[in-house]
Structure 1
Amino acid sequence: MDDQQRRRTLGEFLRSRRERLTPREAGILAGPRRRTPGLRREEVAQLSGVSVTWYTWLEQARDITVSRQVLMSLARALMLSSVERRYLCALAGLPLPERPADGGPGPALQKLVEALEPHPAYLLDANWDLVGWNRAEAGLIGDPGQLEPAERNLLWLVFMDPAMRSLLADWHGQAQDLVAQFRADARQRSGDPRFEQLTNGLREASEEFRTWWAAHDIADFGSSRRRFAHPQVGALTFDYVKLAALDAPGIKLFACMPADAGTAAKLPALQLCAAGARGGVDVTATGAAATP
């Protein structure tokens, strides 16, 4: 869509929202001789604090500058939904507002994670708190359910759990990469109480995190391969797949797919490890022999 077409679509969208909004809904007293069923342009302009000429030009697809502040004023005046506001921003060529997170992933996502057995899978929220996992994931990293809620965080585990340092075959490289990914993923979390609690706690408790966080390195999540040295199962190599849940803003699903036949053969043993205490059980006693 070129700029002219985008401006034309923006004007048509604003006009359609203006014409569907009644004066009563907007808190305007409609006169007895009113001809239009919706709002007039001057009424939208007055409600949003802009000039009638400027708003008219906007509907007419004129090439004018639109700021986020003014656009959000229009969105409030027209009583747009969150989906409509995102669409409005896209048409205006502005960055999309972050979708608000809801109360959690919901039971359907947790069922999906469980359905991925025997492959390890888990759910992270916007602050990388673990909000869902399956038995295979618990067998891989230990059961997060046995931790205090504030400790059920991927970054916290990587930096503060001694078992994770030996579990990750390349702890230094993977931990540093995770910090860069977290900074990119949480760039709009500043001011969030949980985000501040987590990052402040890690800076105080971990010299490595404090150093790497101060470096301000940024990295997007790409195709990721991680190697583990599991204390019971042995060497494991997984390719990580990341999916975003459209119906649960802020929630991401990670699935661990075996990168080789040896890892695939050991998947049932991870589920057996989940039955024991954090860190796993001796699966060799059950017949699922660990191999290097």
Structure 2
Amino acid sequence: MSRSEDIKTFLLKRRARLNPEDYGFSKNNRRVSGLRREEVAQLAAVSASWYTWLEQGRDISISPAALTRIAQVLRLTDIEQDYLNALVFGSGSSRRTHDEIPREVMAMVDALDPHPAFVRRENMDIVYWNNAAKTKIFDWSSIPVTDRNSLKLMFIQDDYRRRLNDWESAARHTIASFRAYYATGNHPAAFKSVVDDLMARSAEFRTLWDYHDVSKVGAGNKDIFDDKGQLRHYTYTSLEVENNPGMFVIFYCQRVLE
């Protein structure tokens, strides 16, 4: 898992998804799907050699304007373009993260009970939770510390997997968010250890990881079976701790379906 390899794979897969006819090119005589490298270069007004070097992950000089034009040709979403910018230019952040959880953050998470809430790092490690989260979401204290990670839980914990009403959708969304956080994160080794572990332990993860989806949603809905087997419908929100970048409080509020 390296940034140069991520750039290469991301651009290749996004290029392959495009329909040449949408850009005025013929689909005939193509050995692979999507646009050719030289076609992307032509549409983005850059040289074919330069774009090839970019897609190969080489260390080249890149202007933000040129990368924006490429993103437009590839029809990237705003989140995908942010992801590509972070891979190419770096996160642009010199903020330091702190390992210690602020006491006021723990107090807030505890005070949110009976609503589930927990603290998660940017690589999706779960580091603190209240009692409601333990009973209604998952009991992280029952598993090894090294497995207390939202992405890992999707693939290596059958108990957690059974609690999700739509596992595949949740798994793909979690992977896509993980990729987005990885691109902007300050500690690549923390992300790499998660990926390496899952690559060795889960064939399903290897398959979904290869899709190279990227997204980041700070709020949404999720349906989860609690420890009694009751299906609960939640709206969740993610809030970053201002004085501790890379640390997030995740808060669940039960919603009533009409």
Mark the CA change 1:142 to 1:183 in structure 2 (over 3 Å): closer, same or farther: same
Alignment root-mean-square deviation, CA: 2.3
| 1:211 to partner: Cα distance | 1.5
Q: Give the counterpart of 2:202 among 203, 206, 225.
A: 206
How far, CA to CA, are the matches of 1:97 and 1:174 in structure 2? 29
1:156-205 superposed Cα distances (whole Å, 9 cap, x missing partner): 11211001221000001111111001100111458733322210111121
Please say if 1:185 is aligned against 2:181: yes
For 1:248, the equivalent position in structure 2 comes to 244
Identity %: 27
| 1:95 to partner: Cα distance | 6.6
For 1:135, the equivalent position in structure 2 comes to 131
- Bigger-Rg structure (1/2): 1
1:80-110 superposed Cα distances (whole Å, 9 cap, x missing partner): xxxxxxxxxxxxxx97414221122211101
1:137-161 superposed Cα distances (whole Å, 9 cap, x missing partner): 0002332123211011111112110
Structure 1 gap segments, 5+ residues each:
1-66, 68-93, 263-292
For 1:235, the equivalent position in structure 2 comes to 231
How far, CA to CA, are the matches of 1:104 and 1:128 in structure 2? 16
Q: Secondary structure at the match of 1:186?
A: helix
For 1:260, the equivalent position in structure 2 comes to 256
**8 Å contact from structure 1 (residues 241, 256) kept in 2:** yes
Q: How does 1:114-133 map to 2 (within 5 A)?
A: 114-133=110-129
How far, CA to CA, are the matches of 1:188 and 1:156 in structure 2? 20
**8 Å contact from structure 1 (residues 190, 196) kept in 2:** no
Q: Give the counterpart of 1:108 among 98, 104, 109.
A: 104
1:104-151 superposed Cα distances (whole Å, 9 cap, x missing partner): 221110110001010000110121111110000000233212321101
TM-score of the pair, normalised by structure 2: 0.61
How far, CA to CA, are the matches of 1:112 and 1:132 in structure 2? 11
For 2:153, the equivalent position in structure 1 comes to 157
For 1:216, the equivalent position in structure 2 comes to 212
Mark the CA change 1:120 to 1:221 in structure 2 (over 3 Å): closer, same or farther: same
1:25-48 superposed Cα distances (whole Å, 9 cap, x missing partner): xxxxxxxxxxxxxxxxxxxxxxxx
